[in-house]
């Protein structure tokens, strides 16, 4: 992987924020970057119809599976935004 300046920024921001959104053009390496920076986190693509359906049907239960955090890819078609905020705002 090409070293990215964004990697250190992601690591720094992750210390202060429970949710990070990485945006950019298609095929620019967003997923590769996140997988490298957060290698110990679960990875779920919501392009997978079963995962997307679960996330939309029961977003709280979907997110509860990732108590240590996760990389959620292709979240734009799924409606999990409000649940993500509530999950992040819950007391530890």
Full residue range of the structural domain in which residue 22 is found? 5-89
Task: Give per-residue pLDDT as tens, 32-44.
Answer: 999 999 999 999 9
Residue 70 has pLDDT above 80, yes or no: yes
pLDDT of the residue at 86: 62
- Which pLDDT band holds residue 61 (cuts at 50, 70, 90)? very high
Total structural domains within the chain: 1
User: 9-56, pLDDT tens digit by residue?
Assistant: 999 999 999 999 998 888 889 999 999 999 999 999 999 999 999 998
**Residue bearing the bigger pLDDT, 79 or 90:** 90
pLDDT at 57 over 70: yes
CB of 74 within 8 A of CB of 45?
yes
Rounded (10°) CA dihedral 58, 60, 84, 29:
-60
């Amino acid at each position: 992987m090409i070293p990215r300046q964004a990697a250190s920024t992601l690591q720094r921001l992750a210390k202060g924020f429970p949710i990070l959104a990485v945006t950019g053009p298609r095929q620019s390496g967003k997923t590769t970057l996140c997988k490298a920076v957060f290698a110990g986190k679960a990875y779920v693509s919501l392009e997978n119809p079963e995962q997307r359906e679960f996330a939309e049907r029961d977003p709280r239960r979907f997110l509860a599976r990732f108590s240590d955090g996760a990389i959620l890819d292709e979240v734009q078609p799924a409606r999990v935004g409000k649940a993500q905020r509530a999950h992040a705002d819950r007391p530890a």
